Amino acid sequence: MVKRLLVPVGDDEASEHAMRAAIGLACQLGVGITGIVLTPMLPRLPAWPAPAGARTAASSSAGGVPMPPPLARFQELAWAAGVDFSAYHDPDPRPDQALIDAAEAQGCDLMVLVAEGRGAFGEFLFGAQDRAVLAGCALPLLVLR
């Protein structure tokens, strides 16, 4: 039984599609969403999520670091639809392992990914990383087109 979706997003059109599709699915299934932004090129940024009390608003921050804009947008859309949402930002330089680790740490049961209309994030995720995520992830994956 699915209880929580993990949805990696970036700042592109494909991510907007993933956000809206995941929110629709979450509404149908009555489940929550964890949105994640990966920044492998900037490993010095502090990791999200913020402390428990600070995770409830888009303007909140972990150690003074604001929530990345794609997560703030995702949170706004999810909350407008009445969907439980948590944000997770991981500066891990290995995105495949970061996604797998985040799914486990956040208690996610299904990963929602975008395969087309790639943009910078899609190229990053579905370039050399797609096989690594698919090979290393024990969760079911829903790939959107």
pLDDT per position in the chain (145 positions), as tens? 889 999 998 888 888 999 999 999 999 999 999 999 876 544 444 555 544 443 333 433 445 567 888 899 999 999 999 999 999 877 766 777 888 888 888 899 999 887 654 555 555 555 555 667 777 778 888 888 7
Query: How is residue 43 annotated by DSSP?
Result: T
User: Is this model's pTM higher than 0.85 or not?
Assistant: no
Delineate the domains of the chain, giving CATH numbers in brackets: 4-144 (3.40.50.620)
Q: For residue 88, what are the β-bridge partners?
A: 36
Report the pLDDT value the prediction gives residue 126, as an integer from 0 to 100.
Answer: 53
Give the integer Cα–Cα distance in Å for 75 and 70.
Answer: 9
Give the integer Cα–Cα distance in Å for 72 and 62.
Answer: 14
Give the integer Cα–Cα distance in Å for 60 and 126.
Answer: 30
Beta carbons of 114 and 15 less than 8 angstroms apart: yes
Give the integer Cα–Cα distance in Å for 128 and 118.
Answer: 13
